[in-house]
Structure 1
Amino acid sequence: MPDPGRRPAVAPTFSALGVRPLAGIVTLILSTWALSGLDAAGKWVMAAGVSLWVLCWVRYSVHLLLVLGVVLPLRGPRVLRSVRPRAQLLRGSVMLLATLCFFKTLSYLPQAEATAINFLAPLMVLSLAPWLLKEPPRISRWVAAGVGFLGVLIIIRPDAGLNPVGVAWGLLTACMFAGQFMATRRVAVDDPLTTLVWSGAVGTVVLSISMPVLLPQVLPVLREFQLLHWVVLLATGVLGALGHLLQIQAYRYAPASLLAPFVYIQIVAAATLGWLVWGQFPDALSWLGIAVVCGSGASLAAWEWRRRPTRA
C-alpha cells in the first residue's frame, strides 16, 4: 500500500486520479453551477425568441464540438467506439427527450421549482430498481421516494401559483430523466467519456435533420440578435459540456455514494440564478418542499453510505 505522504514519481493520468474526496466535492459543486448556468441561459434565449428546437440544436452541437476537442487528444479515436452502440443510441435519444422536456418546463416555471421537480427522477429509479434493474428491494428507498414525492407535492400545490402546464411538463421531465438514468446503467461498460460523446452526437444528428425545416422560421429572430444574445446562446453548449466534464471528473475523484448529497446544491444554484436574472425566488412553503426533496435524497445517500462497509 503506497504511503499517502509521498509524492508519486509520475503524475496521475486523467483516468487514474485516485480517491480525493474534497476535490471530488468541489468539482461536483462547480458542475452543478455550470449546469444551472446552462438552464438559465436556455431559459433566457427562449424568452428572447429562440425556438426550443434551435436552442437544443445549438446546445448539442457546441457541446459535441467541445467534447471532441477535449477527448480526442486525450484518448484518440478509440474513445468513439462503444461496446453497446444500440444502448448508447437509446440513452442519447432519451437524454434528448429529457432536454427538450426540461427546457419546455423552464418556459413555464421558475428555474428553482423546475429543478426541484427533476430531483424526483433518481428517487423514482431507486424505488423501481427491484423490478427494472433487478436489484434487491429496500424499504429505505421506498420511504425516501415517498417522502421526496411529498416534497414535490408541496412545491406544486395549487396555491403556489405555478402554471399547471409547466407542472405537467416538469413531471414528464422527471420521468424522462429517470429513463435516462436507467439507460445509463446499460452503457456502464463503456468509458464515461465515450458515453459523453455519444450523448452529444445523437442529439446533434437528430436535431440537425430537422434544421432545414425549423431554422428558416427562426431566422428573422436571429437576425435581430445582438452580441449578448449570441454569447448566451453559444454559452448553452459551453456550459453543458463543461458541466458534464466536471461531473465525470468529480466521480473520478470520489465515489458516487459520497458525492450524492452534494448533487442537491444544484437547487441552490438554480434559485440563485433565478433570483439574479428574473427576480424569481421560491416562497417559504416552496422552500419547505425543496428541503423535503433534498433531505429525502441526501438522507438516503448518507444511509446507504453508512451501510456500505457492513454490506462489504
Structure 2
Amino acid sequence: MGRVVPVSVSAPAYGVTRPLAGITVLVLSAWALSGLDASGKWVMGAGVSLLMLCWVRYVVHLLLVLGLVLPSRGLSVLRSVRPWAQVTRGAVMLLATLSFFTTLHYLPQAEATAINFLAPLLVLAVAPWVLKEPARLSRWIAAGVGFAGVLIIIRPDAGLHPVGTLFGLLTACLFACQFIATRRAAVDGPFTTLVWSGAVGSICLTVALPFYLPSALPFLATLSLPEWLVLVSTGFWGAAGHLLQIQAYRYAPASMLAPFVYLQIISAAALGWLIWGQFPDALTWLGIAVICASGITIGMVEWRGRKL
C-alpha cells in the first residue's frame, strides 16, 4: 500500500518551520510510495501471489525501520501508550494493503490512486459520529463532490474492471478507517506507530505463511534476480515513503502540506505511463481534478476555521 496519509507529528515551532523542505520531502515521499505501488503491481503481473507480495513488503519494511529507528531512539520506541489502538490500526492497514494491491492488479495505477483520495473526505463526512466533531455542511458537500469525481473516474465507458472498481471503493473505505484508527493511536509518537503498523502486518502474514508459502515456492524459485530485486524493493519503498512523510511533517505543519498530498496522483500517473503505457483520458483527469479540488478546498476551509 502506498498512500500519503496524515501522521501525528508535533508541529514545528513558529519561525522554525521550513515549508520548502517540507514540501520537497513530502513530494519525495509520494514518489517513493508510488514506487511501492508500481513495484507491487509489476511483481503481481509477473505472477507473485498477493499474500507473498504483502509478506515481503511488510517484513522488509519492518526490518529497515527497526534498523534505522532503534539505534537513535532505543527500545522505548517500541512501547505504546495504547497498544490495542496500535493493533487495531495495524490490522486495518493490513486489510487496506491487501485491498489496494488487489485494486492495482485490475486497475491502472493513476485511477487506483485517485479513488483512494476519497478516504479523507469520507472521514470528514462521518466525523460527527465517529470522532465526535461538530457537524459541518461544508464537509458533507466536499465528500459529495469528491464522490462525484470518483463516479466520473469509474463511469461505465471508462473501461475499468468492475472487480478492481469495487476493491478501489473498498480500499477508500478502509483507508478512512485507518485515518480514524490513526487518530486513536495518536498519543504515541509517529515512529512508534510506524513500527507497530509494520509489526502487526508482519506477524499476521507470518502466522499465515504455512498456508500460502508451499504453493508460492515453486514460482518463487523461477524468479530472476531483477524480479527478486523489484519484489524486495516494495519493502524499501514503503519504509522510505513513510519515513520521508514523517520528516516532511516535522518540517512543516499538516495544514501547509495538505494541498501537496494530491501530487501523488502525478507520480502514480507518470509511473503508470512509463511502465505500462497507461495514461488517464481527459474525462478521468476531470474526475481526478474534481477530487483534488474538493479535498484542497475543504482543507483550506478547515484551516481557516481553526485560525478564527
Moved more, 212-221 or 99-108: 212-221
8 Å Cα contact 2:12/2:252 also seen in 1: no
1:15 Cα deviation (Å)?
10
1:35 corresponds to which residue? Answer: 33
Equivalent residue number for residue 97 of structure 2:
99
Out of 168, 171, 178, the residue aligned to residue 169 of structure 2 is 171
The structure whose Rg is larger is 1
Q: 1:193-238, CA deviations, whole angstroms, 9 ceiling, x for partnerless residues?
A: 0000000000000000111221111112111111110110010000
Q: Hey, what does 1:279 align to over in structure 2?
A: 277
Q: 1:283-302 alignment to 2 at 5 Å?
A: 283-302=281-300
Give the letter aligned to residue 137 of structure 1: A
Q: Report the equivalent of 2:231.
A: 233
Counting only pairs closer than 5 Å after superposition, residues 12-23 of structure 1 correspond to structure 2 as: 18-23=16-21
Aligned to 1:253: 251
Change beyond 3 A, Cα 1:86–1:65: same
- Partner of residue 4, structure 2: none
| 1:162 paired residue number | 160
Q: Distance in 1 between matches of 2:207 and 2:12?
A: 38
Q: Is the 8 A contact 2:90 2:197 kept in 1?
A: yes
1:78 aligned partner, one-letter code: S
Q: Write the mapping of 1:73-152 to structure 2, written as runs, cut at 5 A.
A: 73-152=71-150
2:200 matched to which residue of 1?
Answer: 202
Tell whether the 8 Å contact from 2:11 to 2:249 is kept in structure 1 after alignment. Answer: no
RMSD of the TM alignment (CA)?
1.3
Q: Secondary structure at the match of 2:208?
A: helix
Whichever residue aligns with residue 147 of structure 2, its letter is F
Q: Distance in 1 between matches of 2:162 and 2:107?
A: 9
Deviation at 1:187, TM superposition (A): 0.5
TM-score (norm 1): 0.93
Query: Structure 1 residues 15, 57: closer, same or farther in 2, change over 3 A?
Result: farther
C-alpha deviations, 1:276-304, integer Å up to 9, x for none? 00000111000000000011001111222
3-state DSSP of counterpart to 2:114: helix
8 Å CA contact retained: 1:258, 1:305: no
Which residue pairs with 1:266 in the alignment? 264
Aligned letter for 1:92?
G
Q: Which runs of 5+ in 1 are unaligned?
A: 1-13
Instruction: Select which of 45, 48, 51 maps to 1:50.
Output: 48
How many Å separate the matches in 2 of 1:20 and 1:308? 21
Which letter does structure 1 place at the counterpart of 2:57? R
- Alpha-carbon distance in structure 1 between the residues aligned to 2:92 and 2:302: 28
Q: 2:61 aligns with which of 60, 63, 85?
A: 63
1:104, 1:70 → 2: CA distance? 30
Secondary structure of residue in 1 paired with 2:106: coil
User: Paired residue for 2:3?
Assistant: none
Give, as a single letter, the amino acid of the residue that structure 2 aligns with 1:230: W
Alignment check: 8 A CA contact 2:125 2:143 kept: yes
| TM-score, normalisation: structure 2 | 0.94
Equivalent residue for 1:10? none
C-alpha contact (below 8 Å) 1:94/1:176 kept by paired residues: yes
8 Å CA contact 2:70, 2:77 repeated in 1: yes
Structure 1 segments of 4 or more deviating over 3 A? 14-18
Distance apart, 1:305 and its partner CA: 2.5
